Structure 1
Amino acid sequence: MKVLTPSRWSEFVAQTDALQGWAFRGHVDASWPLVPSLTRRLQLFSPDPRIWPLREGRAMRVFRRKAHIHLQDRSALDDDLRCLALMQHHGAATRLLDFTKSPFVAAFFALESASSDVAVFALNTPALWHRAPDFNTTLTRSRIDPRLPGNFERYFLGNKLPLLWYGEPSEMDSRLIAQSGLFVIPGLLDQPLDVILDNYGGSQDLLVKFVLPLSMRDEAMRALYRMNVTYATLFPDLDGLARSVSYELEAIWERLVEDYERAQPANPPNSS
């Protein structure tokens, strides 16, 4: 995995502009490994990887048995990828890794709540479109497509194959559309994505990690705000609007202070 360390926002913009067609993911801590939320959950509470497939399969069955109560159309539950996307959307730990086609969206998620250096990962999806892992060159993206019935259980749920698939579910929700989102699905939960990609060989860079210093945050967040990349646009609902207010507290505070000071009388009356 190549690691780049731009020092200014404009440098990051130029570097990612050269990665046309790639997918991006932001991490609020540059030290975090590139693993899904399900991995972190299982490592904490189920340290034996041998039973991870059983636990993941049970979680999906439980969700399917009960989620229909809250759905007007339960057809999403019959499609493995749509079911996982629905689980992820509502806060469940899954093996899906959220990526976006926009480096700016990824940078926003990395920087918005940052208190240390952050990371934006870039995945070379054009190079992976027709690629298969070296250990089995028949396992192309189209063959392992989890949107096809039975493929999620066949290639992913067993947690045995060091491969990945990326793409979108057959039907996308409003948040996924607003974020230009897609999913990356690893075949192994106990290895980070960069290690899994080592199985694909070749001379091309398949994964690039941009480490963005905390000192870049103010400049970057102002630029993203002007681009209308905010929680309000990325989560087009009341939750997103409410979360977007957090940045309003810092983004316009200096101007508010200036307006307040100008509004004060030159010689305030004696309060005594």
Structure 2
Amino acid sequence: MQTTELANWNQFMELTTQLDGWAFRGQQNAQWRLESSLSRYMRDFVGDRSQWRAREERAIRVFRRKAHNFLAHPNILADDLRCLALMQHHGAPTRLLDFTKSPFVAAFFALERATGDAVVYALNTPALWNNRARPKADPVLTRDVIDPRVPGHFERYFFCNTHEVLWSGEPTEMDDRLVAQSGTFVVPGVIDKPLQSILDGYESNEELLHQIVLPARIRMDAMKWLYRMNITNASLFPGLDGLARSIGVELEIVWSGMMQAQ
């Protein structure tokens, strides 16, 4: 994995222009591993890895048994990827990793609450989609073969936690938040390894993962640019919750600008 530590915000815009079609994920701490919320939860609270599959399956089963009480169309729970996306949307630990097709949305999520160096990861999804990158251990497991939107594929290729593969894409139907954020998901076949380690097992002539470190010193300049681009919590999280979450940036960006103007 190549790493670029930015000297300024303009360098981020120049670099991401070269990564056309890639997917991006922002994390507010450059030291955090690139892994799912489920991976972190299992590692921290379920020490016996032999139980991980049963625990994950039970969590999904419990959600399916109870979530129908709050849904206008509970039939979506039968679709594995849509069910996991719904769980993720409402804060449950899942194996999905949120990515976005917009490097600027990723930068916002990385920087909004960052107090030190943040990071944006860029994933070469075109290479994965077009099978220019394949797992060395089992090259027949291409993106189309393991597609979790196909009934039965989650059970066969993901819940077993034995296939070191990645799939990226969206459910067949996207909710408003996923649309607003230009969102996409990355689904790992194993949850005991970070994405970097899984990609190390892929064969490709292309770079598959690029780490872009955003030093704390460029945060204010970057946040001002993102604000001008209307990338805020209010635009990324449609509804009153997003508006309320956006007030922090309003305090930081707008009021500091007004004070300087006086």
Corresponding position: 1:20 with 2:23 = no
* 1:117-170 Cα shifts (integer Å, max 9, x gaps): 001000000111132311112111001000000000100001111101000001
1:230 corresponding residue in structure 2: 232
Code of the residue aligned with 1:57 in structure 2: it is: E
The alpha-carbon deviation at position 232 of structure 1 amounts to 0.3
Code of the residue aligned with 2:149 in structure 1: it is: R
Which whole-Å CA distance do the structure 2 matches of 1:255 and 1:25 have between them? 29
Specify which of 201, 205, 215 is matched with residue 203 of structure 1: 205
2:177 corresponding residue in structure 1: 175
Which whole-Å CA distance do the structure 2 matches of 1:141 and 1:84 have between them? 18
Code of the residue aligned with 1:144 in structure 2: it is: I
Specify which of 243, 257, 260 is matched with residue 259 of structure 2: 257
The alpha-carbon deviation at position 8 of structure 1 amounts to 0.4
The alpha-carbon deviation at position 172 of structure 1 amounts to 0.5
Give the structure-2-normalised TM-score.
0.97
Which whole-Å CA distance do the structure 2 matches of 1:6 and 1:126 have between them? 24
Corresponding position: 1:127 with 2:127 = yes
Give the structure-1-normalised TM-score.
0.94
Gaps of 5+ in 1: 262-272
Greater than 2 Å deviation, 4+ residue runs: 254-259
The alpha-carbon deviation at position 101 of structure 1 amounts to 0.2
The alpha-carbon deviation at position 255 of structure 1 amounts to 4.1
Q: Tell me, what secondary structure is at the counterpart of 1:142?
A: helix
The alpha-carbon deviation at position 49 of structure 1 amounts to 1.4
1:158 corresponding residue in structure 2: 160
The alpha-carbon deviation at position 203 of structure 1 amounts to 2.4
Code of the residue aligned with 1:32 in structure 2: it is: W
Code of the residue aligned with 2:193 in structure 1: it is: Q
* 1:87-122 Cα shifts (integer Å, max 9, x gaps): 000000000000000000000000000100001000
Code of the residue aligned with 2:151 in structure 1: it is: P
Change (3 A) 1:255 1:33: closer
2:108 corresponding residue in structure 1: 108
2:95 corresponding residue in structure 1: 95
Q: Which moved more, 1:78-87 or 1:200-209?
A: 200-209
Larger radius of gyration: 1
Q: Tell me, what secondary structure is at the counterpart of 1:66?
A: helix
Q: Which moved more, 1:125-134 or 1:162-171?
A: 125-134
Change (3 A) 1:258 1:4: closer
Aligned sequence identity (%): 57
1:7 corresponding residue in structure 2: 7
Code of the residue aligned with 1:199 in structure 2: it is: G
Which whole-Å CA distance do the structure 2 matches of 1:202 and 1:181 have between them? 25
* 1:168-215 Cα shifts (integer Å, max 9, x gaps): 001100000000000000011110001101111222100000011000
The alpha-carbon deviation at position 258 of structure 1 amounts to 5.7
Say how many residue pairs are matched: 260
Q: Tell me, what secondary structure is at the counterpart of 1:204?
A: coil
